[in-house]
Amino acid sequence: MVLSLLRALASTIALVALYYLLPLDNSSIGIVVVILTIGLAGLVGLVAVQVRWIARSRFPGLRAVEALATSIPLFLLLFAGTYFILGRFYAGSFSEPLTRTDALYFTVTVFATVGFGDITATAELTRVVVMGQMVLGIVVV
């Protein structure tokens, strides 16, 4: 059980570190579309593999925790990266400029359906992406 929890924690930490270390500052809108499309396709593939691992595991509950600890952060970080790049590429995309932490914060508030309103999508393109996250977030939950 401890090993499973450590693997879950390690995968989450690795994904968050990767998010902060990737050179997203000079990316273009084309890169956003490619990253989000490939990332979401990869997430679907990862979930499919994880479901098979859970079904075959001696301890499916522990394996499911590991799967969630990888899948949900990956989902959130894909959208946070997208919002960060959109905010830099289209200055009016959000109600304020976004740092990586702001983009992650916005992503989590949308996913959690909290919607504090302190950061809002103001451009049509960003609203479309946010709606996509909302719909996919419901599927993930």
77-98 pLDDT tens trace: 999 999 999 998 888 999 999 9
What is the reported pLDDT for 73? 95
CA 94, CA 89: separation in Å to the nearest integer?
A: 11
**Which DSSP letter does residue 21 get?**
H
pLDDT of residue 104 exceeding 90, the answer is yes
Report pLDDT for 89: 86
> What is the reported pLDDT for 50?
94
pLDDT reading at 26 higher than 90: no
Q: What integer best gives the mean pLDDT of the chain?
A: 91
Model confidence pLDDT, tens digit, residues 31-75 = 778 888 999 999 999 999 999 999 999 999 988 988 998 999 999
Three-class SS state of 121: strand
Query: Rg of the Cα trace of the chain?
Result: 16
Burial annotation 121-135 (CB, 10 A radius, 16+ → b, else e): beeeebeebbeebee
Instruction: Give the pLDDT score at 91.
Output: 84
Q: What pLDDT score does 128 carry? A: 95
The whole-angstrom separation of Cα 49 and Cα 47 is 5
- Count Cβ neighbours within 10 Å for each residue of 96-106 and write b for 16 or more, e otherwise: eebebebbbbb
Going by C-alpha positions, the residue among 70, 73, 138 that lies closest to residue 110 is 138
